Structure 1
Amino acid sequence: MAVMGGSSYTRGFHALGRGAFAYLSPPGTWGWSNCGLVIAERRALLVDTQFTVSLTRELLDAIEARFPGVEIATVVTTHANGDHCWGNQLLVDAEVIGSAACEHDMAEEVQPEQLAALSGPNAPDTPLGDYMRRHFGVFDFTDVRVTPPTRTFTGQLKVPLGDRVVELTEVGPAHTDGDVIVHVPDAGVLYAGDILFMGGHPIMWTGPIDNWIAACDRIRDTGANRIVPGHGPVTDPAGVETFRAYLEWVARRAEQAYAAGLPYWEAGAPSTIPQSYGGWGNPERLVITMAAAYRALGESTHGLMEVLAHAAAAEPHKAGR
């Protein structure tokens, strides 16, 4: 997959114009998330941190190497999933901004020590344990201290940065309860957090899906033409429309399957995915999304471990595994 402008989808910084940059983390699967950086007058706003302390140090070292003397004054946390905020503790001198719902979610999320136990060498010898080890076992959660925002908001917030303004808009609940998108109007750049996945199936933890579709419309309405997803390569408005169409398909599929009495894990089976989305990674995550979609349609809440176990069971076989 190629980044807009012809750059390759490679780890590290990619210039988007007018002091805006994407920090990309291929392959963009579980845990490998993107960040953003906006610079004005030697001050910077960082969009999200990385999953672990060591990966966030790598990010900060890359900033120092490429932009020596630039001070990170502000960190925006787009949502509470650990792969977007578990490095916040290293930015002790910065103001960390997130939605009020994001702050609440951070306390309710699976905590680093819990995820380490679920994905480490002593994880249960079950399909779910195997799944967690393969996708999360590569990450070292040692020394992570969950660090919530120091400033919260609801609705919209304009953040001054030197001679420019960065606009934050709360669009959750969608992917999570507290999703925020970050727009840099004078650069035509938008950082979408996990409101947007490129090249991989998204995960809807909370929903409702109508809110997520509306969030895609909010992105379109900004007029931004370079859009950084939470996972995957930089895209454009056409990429957002493709993703929006996928969400509309999920909504229709959920309504039809729920009415037919199918359990959510059958409704979300990878075999049901249209060919146009068949090349996207992690198709088993549709099971997780369907569980949330069913909840919005009236089904009782299912436990996280149950939902993850069904997703693990649905993962397509990979040769050589």
Structure 2
Amino acid sequence: MTATPFEKGLYETGNGIFAYLQPDGGWGWSNAGLITDGGQSLLVDTLFDASLTREMLGTMADAAGVGADDIGVIVNTHANGDHCHGNGLCKHAEVIASDASAREMAELSAGDLAAIMDQAKAMGPAGQYLVDIFGSFNFRDVAEKHPTQTFTGQHSVTVGNKRVDLIEVGPAHTAGDVLVHVPEDRTVFTGDILFVEGTPIMWAGPVANWIAACDIIIDLKPDTIVPGHGPITDEAGVRRVQDYLHYIDIEARKRYDADLSVRDAAHDIKLGDFSSWGDSERIAVNVSTLYREYSGDTAPPNVVQLFGLMAELR
């Protein structure tokens, strides 16, 4: 794999495949991808608001000759808004996602996020944390478009003469995570199964599914791996994410068995080498999800409380 700088912009990784990168890869600063062949194109994910997505599409038009109206298919790797809030700018595109992702998209709209941000200042430390991490995005300037086609398991599409395989690996990060694999070009777009140099956040779990998803990426033997957040990576980057997941599972289990609370466990776990990764306070969500997995608790988490704990840890 040729090293690609982690700088904002569009990078051709080879043979009509492009990665669009957004440093610093933290909350909301996601990556996207473009697959082209024979005059056809597929976009892997859009961005957190319409302004960012318009900028990306303009860059793609200038550098790759593919404008918004030329994109025939969008694949959303999962339901988080930083991967789908610009879908509607590609007016002619079919939007494909997993069934589970489509259900999650319907549960939390950009309008809901805008309303939450309007109330953030009254939410104490949790609200200030939301302003800190999401204040750069405009949730009133979005272009939502829900999936027009969904699938479970695996699904393949063609872009010109290229086969593109969509592999559902969720629930893991979210309920419906999908990998986008281009076998001919030995390329995988991972969505948020991979955060590189940033801390993974496990909203859904179980942790074993996420670890298995990393194994699937490795088994595909790709030359180029484009994560949902962070710089383009390789097998070693995938294994580091696995190492983190194994580590927090072991450490959270010890504290669960010792009857520590989620808060106390999140404070107590020493992250060692992983502490240099961005957004390390996401350990709060990861411990909460693991505790609920250990206990068999299927109730949704108290998200406001978790954002408050992340603010405290930060």
- Give the alignment's Cα RMSD to 1 decimal: 1.6
CA distance in 2, matches of 1:11, 1:119: 26
* Change in CA separation of 1:261 and 1:294 when aligned onto 2, cut-off 3 Å: same
Structure 1 counterpart of 2:202, which letter? M
Residue 118 (structure 1) shift: 3.1
Identity of aligned residues (%): 44
> Quick one: which amino acid aligns to residue 115 of structure 1?
L
Q: CA deviation at 1:116?
A: 2.3
Displacement after TM superposition at 1:288 (Å) = 0.7
Residue 190 of structure 2: SS of its match in structure 1? strand
Question: How do 1:11-90 and structure 2 match up within 5 A?
Answer: 11-68=8-65, 71-90=70-89
SS at match of 1:297: helix
Partner of 2:166: 168
Per the alignment, do residues 194 and 69 of structure 1 end up closer, same or farther by CA in structure 2, a change over 3 Å counting?
closer
1:88-144 deviation per Cα after TM superposition (whole angstroms, max 9, x unaligned): 1111201111000010011123x3233223335863261111111111111111142
- The 8 Å contact of residues 197 and 230 in structure 1, kept in 2 or not, is answered as yes
Q: Report the Cα distance in structure 1 between the residues aligned to 2:215 and 2:192, rounded to whole angstroms.
A: 15
- Select the residue among 135, 138, 141 that pairs with 1:140: 138
Matches within 5 A, 1:283-302: 283-298=280-295, 300=297, 301=299, 302=301
Q: Which has the higher helix share?
A: 2
TM-superposed CA distance for 1:310, in Å, is 1.2
Q: Deviations over 1:237-291 (max 9, x none)?
A: 111011111111111112111111111122223x623322121011111101111
Return closer, same or farther for 1:283/1:171 CA change in 2, 3 Å cut-off: same
- For residues 157-202 of structure 1, give each alpha carbon's deviation from its aligned partner in whole angstroms, at most 9, with x where no partner exists: 1111111101100000000000000001111110000000001111
- 1:189-200 pair list within 5 angstroms: 189-200=187-198
Describe how 1:64-143 pairs up with structure 2 within 5 A.
Answer: 64-68=61-65, 71-109=70-108, 111-120=109-118, 123-124=121-122, 126-143=124-141
Q: Pick closer, same or farther for the CA change 1:121–1:309 going to 2, 3 Å.
A: closer
Structure 2 counterpart of 1:219, one-letter code = I
TM-score (norm 1): 0.93
2: CA distance, partners of 1:96 / 1:65: 23
CA contact (8 A) 1:118 1:132 kept: no
Q: Which residue of 2 aligns with 1:318?
A: none
Alignment of 1:180-259 (within 5 A): 180-259=178-257
Match of 2:2 in 1: 5
Determine helix, strand or coil for the equivalent of 1:26.
coil
Greater shift after overlay, 112-121 or 88-97?
Answer: 112-121
Rounded to whole Å, the distance in 2 between the matches of 1:211 and 1:69 is 35
Return the alpha-carbon distance in structure 2 between the equivalents of residues 43 and 155 of structure 1: 25
Query: What is the TM-score normalised by the length of structure 2?
Result: 0.95
Alpha-carbon distance change, 146 to 162 in structure 1, aligned in 2, over 3 angstroms: same
Of 261, 267, 272, the match for 2:269 = 272
Tell which deviates more after alignment, 73-82 or 123-132. Answer: 123-132
Structure 1 distance, partners of 2:120, 2:209, is 39
Using a 3 Å threshold, how does the CA distance of structure 1 residues 139 and 121 change in structure 2: closer, same or farther? farther
Q: How far apart in 1 are the matches of 2:83 and 2:66?
A: 24
Residue range with higher mean Cα deviation, 231-240 or 255-264 = 255-264
SS of aligned partner of 1:230: coil
Query: Helix, strand or coil: the match of 1:268?
Result: helix
Write the letter of the residue equivalent to 1:163.
N
Q: 1:312 to 1:149 in 2, by over 3 A?
A: same
| Contact 1:117/1:123 (<8 A) preserved | no
Assess if the C-alpha contact under 8 Å between 1:120 and 1:137 holds in 2.
Answer: no
CA–CA distance in structure 2, aligned partners of residues 112 and 164 of structure 1? 33
- Letter of the structure 2 residue corresponding to residue 227 of structure 1: I
Task: Show structure 1 runs of 5+ residues with no match.
Answer: 316-321
